[in-house]
Amino acid sequence: MRTDNYQHHDYYLVDELLSEEHKLIRDTVRAWVKREVTPIIEDVCQKATFHKPWIKGLAEIGAFGPFIPEEYGGPGLDYIAYGIMMQELERGDSGVRSTASVQGSLVMYPIYAFGSEEQKRKYLPKLAKGELVGCFGLTEPDYGSNPAGMITRIEDKGDYYLLNGAKMWISNAPIADIAVVWAKDDNGEIRGIIVERGMEGFSTPETHGKWSLRASATGELVFDNVKVPKENLLPNIKGLKGPLSCLNSARYGIAWGAIGAALDCYDSALRYSKERIQFGKPIGAFQLQQKKLAEMITEITKAQLLAWRLGVLKNENRATPAQISMAKRNNVYMALNIAREARQIHGGMGITGEFPIMRHMMNLESVITYEGTHDIHLLITGMDITGFNAFQ
Ligand code: TGC
Ligand code: FAD
């Protein structure tokens, strides 16, 4: 069991930009992570098993759909509160944050934004309480960065839709009770549909052998002539902008979450640099180690300000998808670089589970790929500033 000695780092007094409620939320989530995640996370990752009790705990701290209004069972918080929660969860582990961000941004958000009143009442309160777990199926074996090409289909059979196809790399799939699935209809238009576990022909085989996000359950969604009731179609959205809108919310959360992973690596490296003696001095007294640490806190501070400003814009409904892409890309890359530098500061110890570094580093290798790869987000920025589409 690892002890969590994490201390607060706020070099630019960014806390002064937060409300008392934001700070209270941060302290609550941090305390939960210190109590429920850190002591067992290394073991959970070594075994690569999903720790089910976290579902109830995440629900209790309000981490499932924090922005969902109270009338549908959510806490109705703002987007900065959501970001802070994701930051604190990812300080614990990216896989724990993934579980929460999929449930909130990729399952609750589309049902809230595009669902019928009946769908909202049926699913949202149970998802908020963790009584149901959801997953989001967009990526297919042959269509990752280019989801517009998807081949999963729903056919209108009069009384029901017939769903055929497969999704791959789906977080929460093996433990999910419901899946929000994106598929093309008879007109070739992308639609969202809610598939429930137990429907005949629907299976969720687990993806094994990951070296990354080992605390998160990943799997496939396989649809073999699944009859889905008509009332499960999300009525209020058509086209790729449906799933991409959900990604805006999740990518925003990741922009904050990555800061948590970076802070945990920095915190550990700073402490180690003061304790580890070589050549008769703490290694933190050597200029080369100071350069690494000084650059880490500089990059973290820049990322904190980017995330906070994006949160303000998101609260005002002014954050553009391209601004979200910039923050997701920058902050994840920042965190991955910090993990790599922190690993070096820890020397050989950095590869062991006694420190959180290697685990964060391996997790971040997924985070830099999912929700749009590092390259895709650069191309989104490129297109936004030049007006030229360099995707195809
Ligand atoms: P394009 O022609 O540009 O756009 C199609 C329609 O969508 C609109 N749009 C957006 N709407 C809302 N938010 C966004 N971010 C949007 N981006 C585009 C666009 O205006 C258009 O609308 P309309 O009305 O004209 O139809 O689409 P494209 O096919 O050229 O693709 C653009 C591209 C490459 C940027 C997009 O496909 C993309 O982002 N690809 C990356 C795929 C991706 O991020 N997949 C993520 C899967 S989910 C996941 O990874 C979960 S991990 C969760 C975890 O564990 O935490
Ligand atoms: P590809 O699209 O094949 O890309 C391979 C490489 O080519 C990348 O470097 C990419 O940047 C580059 N590339 C692609 N197109 C271009 C281009 N036009 N120009 C330049 N370079 C390009 N998906 C879901 O739907 N739901 C989930 O819950 C989910 N969870 C995930 C969990 C994990 C652990 C992982 C690893 C992935 C998850 N994904 C999920 C899938 C994820 O979103 C995709 O892996 C990601 O979008 C990239 O797709 P791909 O893996 O098919 O890579």
Q: Look over the chain and give the mean of its residue pLDDT values, rounded to a whole number.
A: 98
Q: Are strands 134-137 and 178-184 parallel, antiparallel or unpaired?
A: parallel
Q: What is the DSSP string of 59-87?
A: HHTT-SSTTS-GGGTS----HHHHHHHHH
- Structural domains in the chain, CATH included, are 14-128 (1.10.540.10), 134-232 (2.40.110.10), 241-386 (1.20.140.10)
Q: What ligand has the least distance to the C-alpha of 189?
A: 1
Ligand 1 centroid distance, CA of 149 (Å):
12
Q: Measured from the CB, is residue 248 less than 6 Å from ligand 1?
A: yes
Instruction: Over range 228-239, report the average pLDDT.
Output: 98
Identify the DSSP state of 154. E
- CA-based Rg of the chain, rounded to a whole angstrom? 21
Write out pLDDT tens, residues 258-291: 999 999 999 999 999 999 999 999 999 999 999 9
Would you list the DSSP string of 82-116?
A: HHHHHHHHHHH-HHHHHHHHIIIIIIIHHHHHHS-
Asked whether residue 89 carries a pLDDT value surpassing 90, the answer given is: yes
Confidence of residue 2 (pLDDT cuts 50, 70, 90): confident
The pLDDT tens digits for 155-196 are 999 999 999 999 999 999 999 999 999 999 999 999 999 999
Of all atoms in ligand 1, which is nearest to the CA of residue 139? 47
288 CA distance to ligand 2 centroid (A)?
36
The verdict on the CB of residue 47 being under 6 Å from ligand 1 is no
Q: Which two tokens stand for residue 330?
A: 């920058």
Positive or negative, the CA dihedral 319, 321, 322, 328 is positive
Percent above pLDDT 70 for the chain: 100
Structure confidence at residue 246 as a pLDDT band (50, 70, 90): very high
Q: Are strands 134-137 and 277-278 parallel, antiparallel or unpaired?
A: unpaired
Ligand number, closest to the Cα atom of 171: 2
CB 356 within 8 A of CB 264: yes
Cα(251) to ligand 2 centroid in Å equals 14
Q: Is 177 helix (H, G, I), strand (E, B) or coil?
A: coil
Q: Ligand 2 center to residue 378 CA distance, Å?
A: 14
- Helix 357-367 to helix 38-47 angle (10° resolution) is 60
361 lines ligand 1 (CB under 6 A): no
Pocket test for ligand 2, best of 93, 96, 145, 171 (most atoms within 8 A of CB): 145
pLDDT confidence of 3, banded at 50, 70, 90? confident
Residue 378, Cβ density class (10 Å: 0-12 exposed, 13-18 middle, ≥19 buried): middle
Q: What is the pLDDT of residue 1?
A: 76
pLDDT at 196: 98
Task: Encode pLDDT of 322-380 as tens digits.
Answer: 999 999 999 999 999 999 999 999 999 999 999 999 999 999 999 999 999 999 999 99
Pocket residues for ligand 2 (CB within 6 Å)? Answer: 102, 135-139, 144-145, 169-171, 213, 218, 366, 369-371, 373, 375-376, 379, 391
The pLDDT of residue 137 is 98
Per-residue pLDDT of 37-65, as tens digits, reads 999 999 999 999 999 999 999 999 999 99
- The catalytic residue positions are 371
Confidence class for position 299, pLDDT limits 50, 70, 90: very high
How many helices (DSSP H) and strands (DSSP E) are in the chain? 12, 9
> Is 80 exceeded by the pLDDT of residue 130?
yes
| 380: number of Cβ within 10 Å | 23
- For helices 241-275 and 94-101, give the axis angle rounded to 10 degrees: 160
Q: What is the pLDDT of residue 21?
A: 98
